[in-house]
Amino acid sequence: MTKKKDQDTNIIQFPNLKDRLLDKGMNEIQNRNYKQALSLLLQAEQLDQEHSEIKIGLVVCLLELGELEEAKAICKKMLKEDLGDYFHVLEIYLTILLQLSQYEEVQQTIEAVIEEGTVPQHYEESFKKMLEFSTKINVGGKEDYDNQLEDSHSLTINIDKLFQDESNIKEQWNIIQSLKERNIRKYVPELAEFLKGKNYHPVLKTMILHLLIENEVNSEITVNKFDQTLTVIPSDLSPLTEGDFIQKVIKILEDKIGHENPSLFEVMKEILIRHLYVLFPFNPENDNAELWACALHVYGCELHGIEAIEEEIVEMYKLSKNHVIETIDRIKEIEKISFLQI
């Protein structure tokens, strides 16, 4: 009996099983089969609980499947146990917190890291933007918003305040946020006027457009952004992440960098989504998906201090270096305004 028990417990693993599961999982991520990838990576994790690449792969899958809390938990554990590149993981963690609207935790986390004085230079700008955005919501905008919600049953929104001071983004943001709790149809004429105005912040316009989409407004609306105009019917607009352009760019980036560096891929995808959020419902003037993928690839490496020769990346995509630089400059311009100054 003892001999049989020993035989039963001495399970022999296939050679390199963990690496094979990891490779298959990453291939499934590249092919956007996230459920299959998650299953494979969970099996790999059972064989190595401290493998950072497996953990990052799990986070990518969970993000794509909408399981933000689970992705957050893995990143938090990685940070606590110092698994993987600490600041890479931290940036993904902060991005998840922003998606969960957990602004206080974003603020507290970044302040603690900055106080330690250990943030690498190539992460400073990104962290400072997140900190500034979260702090302003926590200290100012969020409190005002909460106060408005408390009185929402007894007060009528003064929609005219949207137009009183074009530079008062905080006031405009508060009004738009409070509209989320109401039937906005009676405010459609004023919101349409705001979208048509030339000098209002493009992010605020995107917020309004999403409100109109959520409320299935089916009247024609003219949107003016960056000296371009477009007439749309909100109820007919597709979600931002389902557009042909963004899908093409993401697929190219997945093929080029998704398997090699999934965490960098996620950051590049976030930059792309943020950029298109500012432009929505417009696409970039030059909607060459290969060009944008290349520009994001170069810019992503630059942001994260990854040693990559610009010329080699441009050659990989077989593009003109001048066109790539022009696109990177455009990305940087939009990045400056992608976080509201409230």
> Do 203 and 127 share a domain, yes or no?
no
| 329 in any annotated domain | yes
Domain boundaries, position 213: 156-237
| 151 in any annotated domain | no
> Do 108 and 18 share a domain, yes or no?
yes
Residue type, 218: N
| 221 in any annotated domain | yes
Which one of 203, 237, 271 terminates a domain? Answer: 237
> Do 173 and 197 share a domain, yes or no?
yes
> Do 124 and 220 share a domain, yes or no?
no
> Do 325 and 229 share a domain, yes or no?
no
Q: Domain holding 250: CATH number? A: 1.10.472.10
pLDDT in tens, the chain (342 residues): 344 434 444 433 454 788 888 988 888 887 778 888 999 999 999 888 888 999 999 999 998 888 889 999 999 999 999 999 999 999 999 989 988 888 889 999 999 988 888 888 888 888 888 888 888 887 655 445 444 444 433 335 677 777 776 677 888 888 888 887 677 888 899 999 999 998 899 999 999 999 999 888 889 999 999 989 999 999 899 888 788 899 999 999 999 888 888 888 888 898 999 999 999 999 888 889 999 999 999 998 888 777 767 888 998 898 989 999 999 999 999 988 887 655
Q: Domain holding 35: CATH number? A: 1.25.40.10
Number of domains in the chain: 3
| 146 in any annotated domain | no
Q: What would the two tokens of residue 91 be?
A: 């940036």
**Residues 161, 168: Cα–Cα separation, whole Å:** 9
Q: What would the two tokens of residue 336 be?
A: 């400056």
> Do 51 and 125 share a domain, yes or no?
yes
| 139 in any annotated domain | no
Contact 75, 59 (CB under 8 A): yes
pLDDT at residue number 156 = 52
> Do 26 and 102 share a domain, yes or no?
yes
Phi, psi torsion values for 225, nearest 5 degrees: -145, 135
Cα angle for residues 147, 180, 228 (degrees, 5° grid): 120
Which one of 171, 206, 237 terminates a domain? Answer: 237
pLDDT at residue number 172 = 86
**Residues 96, 40: Cα–Cα separation, whole Å:** 23
| 148 in any annotated domain | no
pTM of full prediction above 0.75: no
> Do 8 and 129 share a domain, yes or no?
yes
- Residue 202, preceding peptide bond in cis (omega within 30° of 0): no
> Do 188 and 266 share a domain, yes or no?
no
> Do 200 and 255 share a domain, yes or no?
no
> Do 214 and 182 share a domain, yes or no?
yes
Which one of 134, 164, 194 terminates a domain? Answer: 134
| 109 in any annotated domain | yes
> Do 117 and 216 share a domain, yes or no?
no
| 200 in any annotated domain | yes
- Residues 6 or more apart whose CB falls under 8 angstroms from that of 78 comprise 52, 55, 84, 89
Q: How far is CA 222 from CA 55, 126, 216, 234, 275, in A?
A: 45, 33, 16, 10, 21
pLDDT at residue number 209 = 94
